[in-house]
């Protein structure tokens, strides 16, 4: 049996996630040549080509798509092994859904003011949520909506309100609403809104469903608006990416997309960001952690989050009724 090189496995997964060898090299702190050599070594060990090379770049091969989920699992198991071996020194592992979202900014804000804190930020995906990572024991805490989703939170999970992030509406410059200084839900009703990632059963998909029921706005999901559900290998197949989604919105004269005010999106010259009023939908994030075996550093983070939660933001906002007891006591 061949012993796989974890560094080569990490280079392969990072190249897939970043889309280019050069970007992967920057993330890993290597040269592009070193990334290429590591991937070539893994291909030699496996006896398959993981990428199809072309003049326009490299695309994950059919074999690479088969290998990818197993490669991710190997890296997760390796990380868990290191954590298990050094429980007394391991960092506080905190999951967020995206490094671009407000919850990630909250963690960075905390870390800047607590330089002694040893924190590892774990980034989830639509298919591997922070709640799942917490319940599976892969992280010590996560920032996520506490309600909704296919897997109800069990007893033994601590919950404290962390932040609510108001939503804006994104439209292209040719959209009928593009010239408005702000819009109401009633203004949006005639035009469908696309929610990439919301075809995956999750707490955020349920939030979209609650918002659609309350507002009457048509929410489309799928790889294409109203199309087939997303799949976990879509990123490897080049079907995911914030820039591509924004291009689709920018080119449409009817399609829109909701985006949180705290979400850092790539700049686009033809996208207009409109405040939504009367009411403003806002996505609720809570800090969740296991009360059975909390990390020693968790209490300081919990106190910080509790002390800095701004409930006043909810004055003109809408959140699902199920969340109100926690976020609007």
CATH number where 244 lies? 3.40.190.10
Convert the pLDDT of each residue in 115-163 to its tens digit.
999 999 998 877 778 999 999 899 999 999 999 998 889 999 999 999 9
> Higher pLDDT residue, 17 or 298?
298
pTM of the entire structure? 0.72
In a domain, 323, yes or no: no
> Hey, how many other C-beta atoms are within 10 angstroms of the C-beta on 216?
11
3-state secondary structure of 216: coil
In a domain, 326, yes or no: no
Assess whether pLDDT exceeds 50 at residue 275: yes
Domain boundary among 67, 84, 101: 84
Q: Are 139 and 94 in contact (CB under 8 A)?
A: yes
In a domain, 321, yes or no: no
Q: How far apart are CA 68 and CA 17, in angstroms?
A: 10
247 and 178 in a common domain: yes
Domain boundary among 84, 116, 150: 84
Question: pLDDT at position 237, please?
Answer: 44
231 and 102 in a common domain: no
Question: pLDDT at position 238, please?
Answer: 45
308 and 169 in a common domain: no
96 and 201 in a common domain: no
Question: pLDDT at position 324, please?
Answer: 94
In a domain, 136, yes or no: yes
In a domain, 322, yes or no: no
In a domain, 320, yes or no: no
Q: How far apart are CA 100 and CA 94, in angstroms?
A: 15
Question: pLDDT at position 56, please?
Answer: 64
302 and 172 in a common domain: no
204 and 113 in a common domain: no
User: Positive or negative, the Cα torsion across 22, 240, 206, 263?
Assistant: positive
In the block, which residue shows the tokens 């601590």?
Answer: 158
- The phi and psi torsions of 311 (rounded to 5 degrees) equal -70, -20
256 and 197 in a common domain: yes
Tally of structural domains, the chain: 3
In a domain, 202, yes or no: yes
CATH number where 46 lies? 1.10.10.10
**Lowest mean per-residue pLDDT among 77-81, 285-289, 303-307, 315-319:** 77-81
- CA angle at residue 18 from 17 to 19, to 5 degrees? 95
Domain boundary among 84, 109, 143: 84
Domain that holds residue 261: 165-281
Pairing of strands 92-96, 157-172: unpaired
Closest CA to 157 of 149, 165, 168: 149
75 and 99 in a common domain: no
Q: How far apart are CA 142 and CA 97, in angstroms?
A: 9
- The phi and psi torsions of 169 (rounded to 5 degrees) equal -110, 130
In a domain, 170, yes or no: yes
97 and 44 in a common domain: no
User: How high does pLDDT run on average in the chain?
Assistant: 90
Mean pLDDT of 51-80: 86
CA atoms within 13 A on the CB side of 12: 34
Convert the pLDDT of each residue in 229-274 to its tens digit.
877 665 544 444 566 889 999 999 999 999 999 999 889 999 999 9
301 and 152 in a common domain: yes
Q: How far apart are CA 187 and CA 57, in angstroms?
A: 43
Alpha-carbon dihedral of residues 318, 225, 275, 287, nearest 10 degrees? 50
210 and 73 in a common domain: no
By CB atoms closer than 10 A (0-12, 13-18, 19+), residue 182 is middle
Convert the pLDDT of each residue in 157-196 to its tens digit.
999 999 999 999 999 999 999 999 999 999 999 999 999 9
Peptide bond into 134 cis (omega under 30): no
Within 8 A by CB and 6+ apart from 211, the residues are 217, 219, 281, 318, 320
In the block, which residue shows the tokens 């309350």?
Answer: 214
């Amino acid at each position: 049996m061949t012993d796989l090189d974890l560094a080569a496995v990490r280079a392969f997964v990072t190249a897939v996630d970043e889309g280019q060898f050069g970007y992967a090299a920057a993330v890993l702190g290597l040269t592009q040549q070193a990334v290429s050599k590591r991937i070539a070594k893994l291909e030699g060990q496996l006896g398959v080509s993981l990428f199809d090379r072309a003049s326009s770049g490299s695309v994950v091969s059919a074999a690479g798509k088969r290998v990818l989920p197993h490669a991710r699992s190997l890296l997760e198991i390796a990380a868990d092994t290191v954590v298990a071996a050094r429980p007394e020194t391991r960092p506080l592992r905190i999951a967020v859904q995206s490094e671009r979202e407000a919850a990630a900014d909250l963690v960075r804000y905390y870390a800047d003011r607590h330089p002694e804190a040893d924190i590892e930020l774990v980034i989830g995906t639509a298919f591997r949520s922070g709640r799942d990572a917490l319940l599976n024991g892969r992280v010590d805490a996560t920032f996520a909506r506490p309600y909704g989703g296919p897997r109800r939170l069990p007893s033994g999970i601590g919950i404290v309100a962390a932040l609510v992030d108001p939503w804006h509406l994104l439209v292209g410059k040719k959209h009928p609403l593009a010239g408005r200084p702000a819009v109401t839900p009633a203004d949006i009703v005639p035009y469908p809104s696309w929610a990439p990632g919301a075809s995956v059963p999750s707490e955020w998909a349920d939030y979209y469903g609650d918002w659609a029921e309350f507002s009457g706005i048509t929410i489309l999901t799928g790889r294409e608006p109203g199309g087939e559900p997303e799949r976990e290998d879509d990123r490897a197949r080049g079907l995911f990416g914030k820039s591509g989604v924004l291009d689709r919105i920018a080119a449409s004269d009817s399609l829109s997309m909701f985006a949180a005010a705290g979400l850092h999106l790539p700049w686009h010259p033809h996208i207009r960001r409109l405040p939504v009023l009367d009411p403003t939908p806002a996505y609720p994030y809570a800090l969740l952690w296991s009360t059975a075996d909390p990390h020693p550093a968790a209490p300081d983070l919990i106190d910080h989050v509790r002390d800095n939660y701004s409930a006043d933001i909810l004055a003109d906002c809408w959140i699902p009724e199920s969340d109100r007891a926690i976020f609007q006591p």
